[in-house]
């Protein structure tokens, strides 16, 4: 990442605040002419789509050792290929999940800016990190399947963040996107504040593969794409629908995931 700029002896945060104020005063028309801001802290950054050096250093990327099934990091290294107790006791419908980063403060700011803050320009960067975290999944994938929004939410938000991330991953990996393969047939309540069991009930039966799309995924290896994985209920329901429609294998790749402690079976 490019370090923050310092202009005429002023601190970056001073100019960051000034630029933020100018932006809100002048509106989006001047957006391209103003220097880019860090999506997490609003300080100036040198190039478009990046984090400032300080936020970059606080973003916690996920790397091995992790549960090979759930992709949740282990506190210590139990050895290669080990699954967590959680994956063994309650295996998900998908085969493997991978996330670029832990869903902590910096990742949350990034996701909120991307989703609700008109920062679609973050997609290539986030997609690059995802493609790196999911390189093993993408190496033997036939198609990417973005988790769909219900049309009503798509209409208010204007774009599907999962589809925008899938486009960035296609650019990195060359794996094509299977559009419209998964339909959200029922609007679901926001998952925020629900327990794991409530989340699972909330999304049950919410997704379907239209009959005319079934031949295109039959026997195929798919990678579900979403921005955040919390309890995993949404991607699990999606994976179930895709497998029921004939997909051979479903993996999951997200930008950030909530990390709860998992145990190796020792
Ligand atoms: Zn920052």
Tell me, in angstroms, the distance from the centre of ligand 1 to residue 42's CA.
Answer: 6
Task: DSSP for 167-234, please give it.
Answer: HHHHHHH-PPB-TTSSEE-S-----TT--HHHHHHHHTT-EE--GGGHHHHTT-EEEEEEEEESSSHH
- Residues 120-143: what's their mean pLDDT? 95
Q: Which residue has the higher pLDDT, 246 or 118?
A: 246
> 108 C-alpha vs ligand 1 centroid, how far in Å?
12
Q: Looking at residue 28, what is its pLDDT? A: 47
How far, in Å, CA of 146 to CA of 162, rounded? Answer: 5
Radius of gyration of the chain (CA): 20
pLDDT(6) > 50: no
pLDDT at 57: 86
pLDDT exceeding 90 applies to what percent of the chain? 54
Specify the pLDDT at position 258: 92
pTM: 0.83
Distance 103 CA to ligand 1 centre (A): 16
Distance 205 CA to ligand 1 centre (A): 39
Instruction: State the distance from the centre of ligand 1 to the C-alpha of 141, rounded, in angstroms.
Output: 34
CA 126 to ligand 1 center in whole angstroms? 15
Expressed in angstroms and rounded, the spacing between residue 169 Cα and the centre of ligand 1 is 24
pLDDT score for 153: 72
């Amino acid at each position: 990442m490019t370090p923050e700029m310092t202009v005429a002896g002023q601190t970056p945060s001073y100019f960051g605040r000034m630029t933020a104020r100018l932006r809100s005063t002048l509106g989006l028309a001047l957006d391209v002419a103003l220097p880019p801001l860090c999506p997490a802290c609003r300080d100036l950054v040198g190039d478009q789509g990046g984090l400032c050096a300080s936020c970059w250093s606080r973003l916690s990327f996920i790397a091995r050792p992790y549960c090979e099934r759930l992709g949740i990091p282990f506190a210590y290294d139990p050895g290669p290929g080990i699954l967590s107790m959680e994956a063994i006791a309650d295996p998900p419908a998908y085969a493997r999940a991978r996330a670029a980063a832990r869903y902590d403060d910096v990742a949350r700011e990034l996701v909120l800016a991307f989703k609700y803050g008109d920062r679609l320009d973050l997609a290539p960067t986030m997609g690059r990190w995802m493609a790196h975290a999911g390189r093993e999944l993408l190496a033997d994938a036939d198609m990417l399947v973005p988790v769909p929004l219900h049309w009503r939410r798509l209409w208010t938000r204007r774009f599907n963040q999962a589809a925008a991330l899938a486009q960035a991953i296609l650019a990195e990996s060359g794996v094509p996107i299977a559009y419209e393969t998964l339909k959200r047939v029922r609007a679901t309540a926001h998952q925020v504040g629900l327990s794991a069991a409530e989340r699972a009930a909330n999304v049950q039966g919410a997704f379907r593969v239209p009959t005319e799309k079934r031949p295109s995924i039959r026997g195929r290896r798919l990678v579900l794409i979403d921005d955040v994985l919390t309890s995993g209920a949404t991607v699990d329901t999606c994976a179930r629908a895709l497998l029921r429609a004939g997909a051979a294998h479903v993996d999951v790749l997200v930008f950030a995931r909530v990390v709860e402690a998992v145990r190796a079976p020792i």
